Amino acid sequence: MNDTLADGFALPRNPANYVPLSPLSFLARTAAIYPDRLAVVHGERRINWRESYARCRRLASALARRGIGRGDVVAVMAPNVPAAFEAHFAVPMAGAVLNALNYRLDPPSIAFILRHGGARALLTDSEFAGIVEPALGLLPAERRPLVIDIDDPLAAAGKRLGELEYEDFLAEGDPDAAWSLPEDEWDAIALNYTSGTTADPKGVVTHHRGAYLNALGNVVAWGMGHHPVYLWTLPMFHCNGWCFPWTVTALAGTHVCLRRVEAGPILSAIAAHGVTHLCGAPVVMNMLLNAGAPERFSRRIRMMTAGAPPPAAILEGMERIGFDITHVYGLTETYGPVTVCAWHEEWDGLPAAEKARLKARQGVAYPVLESLMVAGPNLAPVPRDGSTMGEVLMRGNVVMKGYLRNPAATEAAFQGGWFHTGDLGVCHPDGYIELKDRAKDIIISGGENISTIEVEGVLYRHPAVLEAAVVARPDATWGETPCAFVTLRPGAVASEAEIIAFCRDNLAHFKAPRAVVFGPLPKTSTGKVQKFVLRQRAAQR
Domains of the chain, earliest start first:
24-213 (3.40.50.12780), 443-539 (3.30.300.30)
Burial code of 356-379, b = ≥16 C-beta within 10 A, e = fewer?
bbbbbbbbbbbebbeebbbbeeee
Neighbours of 457 (CB within 10 A): 23
- pLDDT value at 153 more than 80: yes
**CA 108 centroid distance within chain:** 23
> Residues with Cβ < 8 Å from 84, sequence gap 6 or more?
76, 78, 100, 236, 237
- pLDDT value at 232 more than 60: yes
CB 381 within 8 A of CB 418: no
- pLDDT value at 260 more than 50: yes
Q: Are strands 479-488 and 515-518 parallel, antiparallel or unpaired?
A: parallel
- pLDDT value at 376 more than 50: yes
The residue count for the chain: 541
Among candidate residues 428, 452, 442, the one with its CA nearest the CA of residue 503: 452
CB 424 within 8 A of CB 439: yes
How far are the Cα atoms of 466, 484, 488 from residue 521, in angstroms, in the given order? Answer: 11, 11, 11
Q: Given this model, what pLDDT does residue 293 score?
A: 65
Helix axes 312-321, 352-359, angle to 10 degrees: 120
> Residues with Cβ < 8 Å from 346, sequence gap 6 or more?
none
Q: Given this model, what pLDDT does residue 340 score?
A: 98
For residues 289 and 450, what is the distance between their CA atoms, to the nearest angstrom?
A: 29
Q: Given this model, what pLDDT does residue 197 score?
A: 44
Least confident of 51-60, 139-148, 288-297: 288-297
Give the predicted TM-score (pTM) of the model: 0.86
Could you give the angle at the alpha carbon of 309 between the alpha carbons of 363 and 494, nearest 5°?
Answer: 145
Q: Given this model, what pLDDT does residue 136 score?
A: 98
- pLDDT value at 309 more than 80: no
Least confident of 20-34, 446-460, 471-485, 501-515: 446-460
Helix (H, G, I), strand (E, B) or coil at 419: strand
Residue 137's identity, in one-letter code, is: G
The CB-side HSE value for 462 (13 A sphere, CA atoms) comes to 28
Q: Given this model, what pLDDT does residue 541 score?
A: 80
For residues 44 and 495, what is the distance between their CA atoms, to the nearest angstrom?
A: 48
Backbone angles phi, psi at 413, to 5 degrees: -65, -30
Region 328-340: what's the mean pLDDT?
Answer: 96
For residues 473 and 207, what is the distance between their CA atoms, to the nearest angstrom?
A: 41
For residues 300 and 325, what is the distance between their CA atoms, to the nearest angstrom?
A: 10
Encode pLDDT of 172-226 as tens digits.
Answer: 999 999 999 999 999 999 999 986 544 678 999 999 999 999 999 999 999 999 9
Q: Given this model, what pLDDT does residue 1 score?
A: 47
pLDDT band for position 297 (cuts 50, 70, 90) = confident
- Looking at every residue in the chain, the average pLDDT score rounds to 92
For residues 146 and 66, what is the distance between their CA atoms, to the nearest angstrom?
A: 9
Per-residue H/E/C for 488-527: ECCCCCCCHHHHHHHHHHHCCHHHCCCEEEECCCCECCCC
pLDDT band for position 236 (cuts 50, 70, 90) = very high
